[in-house]
Amino acid sequence: MTFDCKQLLIGGLIGGALVAFLQTQTFRKGCAKVVAAGLQLKDDASEFIESVKEDAEDVSAESKQKKAKA
């Protein structure tokens, strides 16, 4: 593998442009929106799972009551 100054320069420019982009307000706002959407999705999923769990517990309790009466 040979050292190529041109490739090093191109890599440095691309890296610098990437760092500059990552520090922009637009990128930060976009990241904040993505994180907020992820947290909302997590909350919605937790509520759904809790609802399913409660329904399963109700069905189980009803089944036990019917077995006890029979």
pLDDT at 1: 56
| Residue ranges for the chain with pLDDT beneath 50 | none
Work out the percent of the chain whose per-residue pLDDT is above 70. Answer: 96
- In angstroms, the CA 55 to CA 48 distance is 11
DSSP class of 3? -
Q: What's the rounded Cα separation, in Å, for the pair 8 and 4?
A: 7
Per-residue pLDDT tens over the stretch 50-65: 999 999 999 999 999 9
Integer Cα distance of 18 and 21 in angstroms:
5
Res 14: pLDDT = 95
